[in-house]
Structure 1
Amino acid sequence: MAKASYDDADSLLNKLQVSGGEKSVSEEYLGIMKDLRKEFAALLKGKLQADAALEDVIEYERPPNRFEKQGDMRVIVNRILNPLAYAWPKHEEYIRRMPQEISVLFVGMNPAPNAPSGIPFGDKKEVHNFWDIDISTSNFDGIPDSLKTDKDCVSGRRFWKFIQKHFENIIDFHEHCFVMNCTPLVFMGKVAPASARVTRTSNSNISLDNFDDDSTDPLVQSLMQKSDVALQDAISVMNPKLIIGIGWHAYNRVKNLDVNKRIKHQRITHPSSRVGGQGVNGGAKDKGDEKWIGQVEEELKDIVHSTIKSSKMEKASRRQKKIRNL
């Protein structure tokens, strides 16, 4: 009987909140991403001349971009994909799963070419198992045939496996956590020594940590400035207690934003194949995954669970106060 009473009170409070005219966190975040989608389209179409296809897939060649980073290296960006355009329905479906109150926000860098779905760490199998969202590339019109593959995404596979292991009660994740990237854009091309002669294009992934903010070409700078504004606005709307940067780049990028200084920050190792190796079959793959998951468990210890526990206690206290005032 007490359980039914508790649920009834919780349901009543939710109705009062909705009837108060306040937008949900997911609706506010959707608005931010819709604006970002328009800004991306304007920047890319303005750079590449008007073309109906450009809102779906952005593909272009450009002169080599040189910058100093870990020696004299250059980045050649051959192609940019904008999942907010061609994969918007899947991205929106993911956003609408967002909890109303977010205690822990995980932030990654940007999608890889084999996971261009608009859902962070978009390994097709793991996202389907965890979120029941089908992100097979066959769903996306206009992306290059070379990217339509069932190959798994190492980072995505490891990340969602970790989430399922770290949360004994997976409901805690769905009710208190969310995952987003610094930018939804996919950058493809080549990273090579400045002295190397690059004679053909490449579809290799270019992650954000390969770009230097002071010397990256103007288009990439403009795209990332728009992304940073959207990221900052999203964090302000979500107002999490803890932000976990997945890798040094995401951690530092978020810490440099002008957000609530009371938010705690934590870094975990990025789940790329550089940790434990990629593995191409059963045992080797599982061993690499387990090595990364073990490393991250050690880095986080109990901070996620203690943050969620604190949020639950605060929410219960607010609930009791509101019930008394009904």
Structure 2
Amino acid sequence: MDQYFHGVGAKRQFHRDCDISSVPGAIDFASFSQLASQQAVTKQAALAGVMQEYMDDRWKDRQVGSAAVFPGSAPTSSRVLYNNNDEMAQAAHSLLMAQHSVAADLDAVAAAQAASRNFMSAHIADPLTLSHPHDADDSPKEHLTEDDLAHDNVVANFLSNPQNQQQLEAALDLHQQQQELIGSADSTIAENEEDSFNAQIVQAFLWIEAKLCAKLKCVKFSDKVEYVYNPLEYASDPHAHYVSKYSGTKAVLFLGMNPGPYGMAQNGVPFGDTRYVRDWLKITGAVHHPPHEHPRRIVQGLDCTRSEVSGARFWGFIAKICGTPEQFFRHCFVHNYCPLTFMTKSGKNIIPAALPATERRNLEAICDEALLQCIRVIRAQIIVAIGKYAADRVTCVLQSAGDESAASIRIVRILHPSPASPQANRGWEEVVTQQLQESGIIQYLQSPG
């Protein structure tokens, strides 16, 4: 776990200038779906009101956006909150202060813009209420009809005056510059807000997994399980790269079972066939060896040359349907229910469902809790369970949650791409295409229009 905490914490810099070893206790994971009841620490108390208003506004914006992008997905009242997480508070507060700073800088621009608008409204903004340049007194403006303008030389006379023309050109130039400046500032603020929000989700997701890893170390397995690999630890760098690059608020979560020996067990990416992880997803990072490694199941990381059939089928299908990773991850994310790979003394793979009952229940109690937290963090509204085991677990998790938010989440099951499945070997891609079409999930994968 030290390698995971220090590797992820240092390389991704989610907790800068803090003691990594003390961070896991800094997040109250029980408060992800409800309003935090504790006040901020004393030094943050003065900012508590501002921070709550900021987070409320940001979340309202997210809910409105979600409802607009995904019709029929009812926004819920549960929110992602980080109890006693000073780093998150400081990051959000810094963003808020940056917004105020930019807004203050634009005060002068707004004043100048108002002046230019007044000038243009007095001369050219409304051609039906132009002041006649030959009027020497302060008489009221003459109201002209369109027919009058067609035969009058008011506009021509006004523009023929060099001084008026220079004023007009200067006003138009200033107006254009102001619009460009305001547009640039708005774009920068929006981009910073998006990056900050996504960084908080990535941070929360990785620490849920870190806590999951710590708890799984307490689970004891029978002699049947000779080897246990945890790629979240020895492949923490590419795994964190995958999460930080592609996670965020997602409508659809594709849920697998656990790592395969030549997939995620090699590189930390779900269904991680090396060719697709390295060349299509563009994931990089150093991979170490598990502490207890089977001599016939050596971890080679992104240099592994053996293909993972399930991974090649899954990511090959996604690449074919979506074209680019960006298209797929616009609305979707892929996650495994259990991060551990189990093997017998001979190196044979053991799926979680085949574990002895007591061990399986202990494992599932821990993984169930982490799965619910992950679903809430990324705000998934649809879970695409890949295979029966994943479907059974997520169904149990959401039913046991006992809240309206969990009850509103839809579960769709698709065929697992494992070569151990005769049905998958007879045309997995065709079967899954039909399943995704019938369930309406295909719309989240294909480009609009």
Partner of 1:203: 347
User: Which of residues 110, 133, 139 in structure 1 aligns to 2:258?
Assistant: 110
Task: Say yes or no: does 1:31 pair with 2:207.
Answer: yes
Task: Say yes or no: does 1:166 pair with 2:338.
Answer: no
Distance verdict in 2 for CA 1:304–1:5, change over 3 Å: farther
Give the Cα–Cα distance (whole angstroms) in 2 for the partners of residues 118 and 232 of structure 1: 21
Give the Cα–Cα distance (whole angstroms) in 2 for the partners of residues 6 and 233 of structure 1: 37
Q: Identity, % of aligned pairs? A: 28
User: Which of residues 256, 272, 277 in structure 2 aligns to 1:122?
Assistant: 272
TM-superposed CA distance for 1:158, in Å, is 0.4
* SS of residue matched to 2:397: coil
Task: Say yes or no: does 1:254 pair with 2:394.
Answer: yes
Partner of 1:267: 413
Distance verdict in 2 for CA 1:152–1:13, change over 3 Å: same
Give the Cα–Cα distance (whole angstroms) in 1 for the partners of residues 184 and 290 of structure 2: 43
Q: What is the CA deviation profile of residues 145-179 of structure 1, one whole-angstrom value per residue up to 9, with x for unaligned ones?
A: 42125321100010000111122464221222110
Q: Is the 8 A contact 1:243 1:265 kept in 2?
A: yes
User: Which of residues 238, 258, 264 in structure 2 aligns to 1:90?
Assistant: 238
Q: Which runs of 5+ in 1 are unaligned?
A: 48-59, 63-75, 190-200, 279-287, 313-326
Q: Residue type matched to 1:29 in 2?
A: F
- Flag the structure with larger Rg: 2
After the TM superposition, which residues 16-165 of structure 1 pair with which residues of structure 2 at under 5 Å, given as runs? 16=193, 24-41=200-217, 43=218, 47=220, 62=223, 76-115=224-263, 116=265, 117-134=267-284, 139-140=288-289, 142=291, 143-148=293-298, 150-165=305-320
TM-superposed CA distance for 1:306, in Å, is 3.4
* SS of residue matched to 2:296: helix
TM-superposed CA distance for 1:78, in Å, is 2.1
User: Which of residues 324, 337, 358 in structure 2 aligns to 1:182?
Assistant: 337
Distance verdict in 2 for CA 1:299–1:136, change over 3 Å: farther
Distance verdict in 2 for CA 1:6–1:147, change over 3 Å: farther
* SS of residue matched to 2:283: coil
Give the Cα–Cα distance (whole angstroms) in 2 for the partners of residues 158 and 179 of structure 1: 14
In terms of fraction of residues, the more helix-rich structure is 2
Q: Is the 8 A contact 1:241 1:307 kept in 2?
A: no
Distance verdict in 2 for CA 1:305–1:14, change over 3 Å: farther
Give the Cα–Cα distance (whole angstroms) in 1 for the partners of residues 430 and 185 of structure 2: 41
Which structure has the higher relative contact order (CA within 8 Å, separation 6+)?
A: 1
Q: Is the 8 A contact 1:275 1:292 kept in 2?
A: no
Task: Say yes or no: does 1:293 pair with 2:429.
Answer: yes
Q: Is the 8 A contact 1:124 1:134 kept in 2?
A: no
TM-superposed CA distance for 1:308, in Å, is 7.0
Q: Residue type matched to 2:241 in 1?
A: E
Q: Which runs of 5+ in 2 are unaligned?
A: 1-175, 299-303
